[in-house]
Structure 1
């Protein structure tokens, strides 16, 4: 089975979405992506908290509990031979008439989708390039993980593949923002840097973990507004997200970096792997 929708396990061929769902009509849907390790979701509480906060802001009433949806993930894992997978938990506003719903959304469409993890060796390096498409402004005060993904799609069109490369996006004013599917971190003179949330980037769960970790270990980290040139002059460069974990960048345009040989990268990467649910055979 590939999918679960509103209480039923389905194949991808069986699952349907009404064209009257406001997730389709108006892009009013939100999601979390994560992976399992030995059958367990890493940082599940953080993913759930972010989703709940977003749904509350858009007045969507989630009709399943945190534990019920975690059991769905476990059920999909069992139905796929107990193999770990890449999951998307998706909540859209549900079926309503054409026109904006004035009050709230009590009957959302809730989906959990699974696909196999790509056979990538942990620590595999990528290259990166600057993207011409500017990062758009967020939906509200802060960016949420929503169906409003057109900006990312336009940026994706600029690259032949995301398997070996990541695209770096800047704001309309030229401030470094984030990758097409990742958060950006770099090291210079022993200091760790990353764009601040007020650039309009997503506060990714892996980004939060990494910043929290550096605070507990004394690695200095600064969040702010940075130019392309500051990234290009870095001693180390990485991107992070929940599925690919912490990915070292070996080259950005014509600028070269130590990739997975970077000293701070190796320390942080080792700590991340150590924090994963025990029994992870990929470590």
Structure 2
């Protein structure tokens, strides 16, 4: 049985309890992060911690613990649960208070929850070799997608829409342009140039995205940060996604149409190779 962390305590998962008045439950008033674990070490923890702070600040929510304590909790959970490859999920909510649309008093303690997920072979996902398929769906989320909130209902619906069509995931589209995947950032490659939407309130500021684009530029690859259309994506030479749990994964079909020759391309393969190598070296 897993050990989880709830508000200062390490507990067996079946003993973990959260108030029914928690604002995460009542209002989706919370933020989260997911950090990958490879070889028992955390991948890009400083990036995830920095984005957590950004999300909390955007919602006028205070951090429940200092960053160094958060790192210690992550490491303790990894050790207690014997995680070699997997994920650490963290969620912070505004805490428990009587139901009211107004925020509770400033001294209301925030809720902090962490748990692990064992994912043996996380770095060896078969989709990295075969490529994945996506469908396109309208982007019907709220406007502040750059804040990593727990409002994940529509992305969950999108994944179910993809499954219903025999696809692996969905890319969301607004005004004819791809915003991002349901839980990942989206990219295409055309004539050797990597194209991905620029940062803004329309997409999540992916930690893996930042690292991968940095590695791409260091490798002298051309990068354009701009919106791209669904038509551009279907006509691209390659496509791929990035996320903390899938790293770099090629996309080989969009709405049933093959991307390029329908097999993973060299740019995505090289970026995955670089990212995995550098991430393992930098993991803490």
TM-score (norm 2): 0.88
Change (3 A) 1:214 1:51: same
2:135 is aligned to 130
1:32 is aligned to 33
Q: Where in structure 2 are the equivalents of 1:105-184 lying within 5 Å?
A: 106-117=108-119, 119=121, 121-122=124-125, 123-139=128-144, 143-160=146-163, 165-171=168-174, 173-184=175-186
Change (3 A) 1:95 1:279: closer
The structure with the greater share of residues assigned to helix is 2
Q: Gapped runs of 5+ residues in structure 1?
A: none
Please report the RMSD computed on the Cα atoms of aligned residues, expressed in angstroms. Answer: 2.4
Change (3 A) 1:230 1:215: same
- Distance in structure 2 (CA, Å) of the matches to 1:279 and 1:155: 33
SS of 1:87 mapped into structure 2:
strand
- Distance in structure 2 (CA, Å) of the matches to 1:189 and 1:199: 28
1:272 is aligned to 275
- Distance in structure 2 (CA, Å) of the matches to 1:205 and 1:262: 23
Q: Gapped runs of 5+ residues in structure 2?
A: none
2:82 is aligned to 81
1:67 is aligned to 68
- Distance in structure 1 (CA, Å) of the matches to 2:49 and 2:281: 21
Offset at residue 87 of structure 1 (A):
1.2
- Distance in structure 1 (CA, Å) of the matches to 2:225 and 2:140: 18
Q: Where in structure 2 are the equivalents of 1:115-264 lying within 5 Å?
A: 115-117=117-119, 119=121, 121-122=124-125, 123-139=128-144, 143-160=146-163, 165-171=168-174, 173-198=175-200, 200-252=202-254, 253-257=256-260, 261-264=264-267
Matched, 1:3 2:4: yes
* Deviation digits for residues 28-77 of structure 1 (CA, Å, limit 9, x no counterpart): 10000111122221111111011111112222221212121212121122
- Distance in structure 2 (CA, Å) of the matches to 1:217 and 1:12: 44
* Deviation digits for residues 238-259 of structure 1 (CA, Å, limit 9, x no counterpart): 1110011111122221224457
Contact 1:175 1:225 in 2 (8 A): yes
- Distance in structure 2 (CA, Å) of the matches to 1:170 and 1:134: 5
Contact 2:240 2:251 in 1 (8 A): yes
Offset at residue 267 of structure 1 (A):
2.0
- Distance in structure 2 (CA, Å) of the matches to 1:51 and 1:279: 20
- Distance in structure 2 (CA, Å) of the matches to 1:131 and 1:10: 41
- Distance in structure 2 (CA, Å) of the matches to 1:102 and 1:161: 41
SS of 2:162 mapped into structure 1:
coil
Deviates more, 1:182-191 or 1:78-87: 78-87
Offset at residue 138 of structure 1 (A):
2.4
Offset at residue 115 of structure 1 (A):
1.1
Offset at residue 265 of structure 1 (A):
1.8
- Distance in structure 2 (CA, Å) of the matches to 1:31 and 1:158: 24
For this pair of structures, how many residues does the alignment match? 277
* Deviation digits for residues 87-136 of structure 1 (CA, Å, limit 9, x no counterpart): 11110110112112266464110011111115452423333232334242
- Distance in structure 1 (CA, Å) of the matches to 2:227 and 2:281: 37
Change (3 A) 1:161 1:31: farther
Change (3 A) 1:195 1:26: same
Offset at residue 18 of structure 1 (A):
0.9
Deviates more, 1:70-79 or 1:181-190: 70-79
